Amino acid sequence: MSADDVAERISSMEIRGAAEIARQAALALKEEARSYSGSDLEELRSRVERGRDALLASRPTAISLWNGVQYVFKDTSKAVTADEYRDKVSENADRFVKRSKNALRTIGRLGANRIRDGDRVLTHCNSKAAIAVMAAAWEQGKRFEVFATESRPWRQGVLTANDLSELGIPVTMIIDSAVRYVMKDLDLVLVGADTIASNGAVINKIGTSQVALAAHEARVPFTVCAETFKFSPRTIYGELVKIEERDATEVVKEGEVPPQVKVFNPVFDATPPEYIDSIVTEIGVIPPYAAYQVIIKELGQEFIFNED
Ligand code: RUB
């Protein structure tokens, strides 16, 4: 599938979730490079870079997409032939996918230590990283139940309820506005992340910050599960994370309200670090305030100082 096609599938949310977006974008760039069999390095380079631009424009919030794409271009400036360039792009894309899958396994293992037998856990939206933690804990023999928010307007909670049910984990779906009502009876909140800023703020599905606020009030630990490629090197330069706004028709159907009614549909929000108990990454469970160090250590050399 061409990079344009994958970009379209990301925009329309056929491909969704921050890690999956990044993996599919990396593989699309590999396909783009391999679909050109000629020997003109410049032609190949410009085709792959056009693909990169389309992918980066597909959804604006998840830094995983940008980090994944950057990873694919690592060392490509050193290529002197089209073959070398193609091989580098393919190798980097495969390595990114492998690293991302390994990270998910490690996050599952580390995060599972946070779940105790008998816990009641709440999750929001559909995060493969949060689900990996629940899956690992369940596999260790811990028995707990999960509350999954509906996650309006796309209702990713339905995906979560299906994913957890397939694993045999008992799950109760609630509407987003029921979060505070159930919070007093919960032991843990587990969510994913699209982007983590250098100050430790976590950008995730709209409503996450309300969940965090309710958890904070009820003293329920709020834990984020995220691979290090969800941390944003760009925020070190002071760049603000762009919050995606999607079409009004995702919230109200055509003709349901008079045309003068405005609809505002932001699909992510930022949870400040003071509401976050810990972040489970593949390099350990860290406080949100360690985000800066993670960016410098894990992403800095590759993504900041040696940018291709
Ligand atoms: C998905 C969402 C998820 C994060 C993390 O939003 O907010 O919590 O992307 O997911 P959308 P993962 O459905 O709009 O893409 O842990 O799977 O990377």
Concatenating the DSSP letter of every residue in 130-153 gives: HHHHHHHHHHTT---EEEEE--TT
Give me ligand 1 centre to Cα 130, in Å.
Answer: 10
- Residue of 200, 213, 199, 228 lying closest to 18 (CA atoms): 228
Average pLDDT, integer, range 93-112: 98
Looking at the predicted structure, is the pLDDT value of residue 131 above 70?
yes
Q: In whole angstroms, what is the distance from residue 282 CA to residue 78 CA? A: 30
42 vs 307, residue with greater confidence: 42
Looking at the predicted structure, is the pLDDT value of residue 202 above 60?
yes
Average pLDDT, integer, range 218-226: 98
CB 15 within 8 A of CB 9: yes
Catalytic residue numbers read: 125, 194
Give the number of the atom of ligand 1 that is nearest the alpha carbon of residue 125.
Answer: 8
Report pLDDT for 306.
43
Report pLDDT for 243.
98
Report pLDDT for 302.
53
Average pLDDT, integer, range 129-143: 98
Q: In whole angstroms, what is the distance from residue 209 CA to residue 225 CA? A: 15
Mutate to test the pocket of ligand 1, among 64, 96, 123, 127 (most ligand atoms within 8 A of CB): 127
> Residue 69: in which H helix or E strand, if any?
helix 63-72
Considering the chain, what is the average pLDDT of its residues?
Answer: 96
Looking at the predicted structure, is the pLDDT value of residue 304 above 60?
no
Residue 187 neighbours by CB under 8 Å, 6+ apart: 116, 119, 120, 121, 220, 221
Q: What would the two tokens of residue 178 be?
A: 């029921």
Report pLDDT for 4.
98
Looking at the predicted structure, is the pLDDT value of residue 44 above 80?
yes
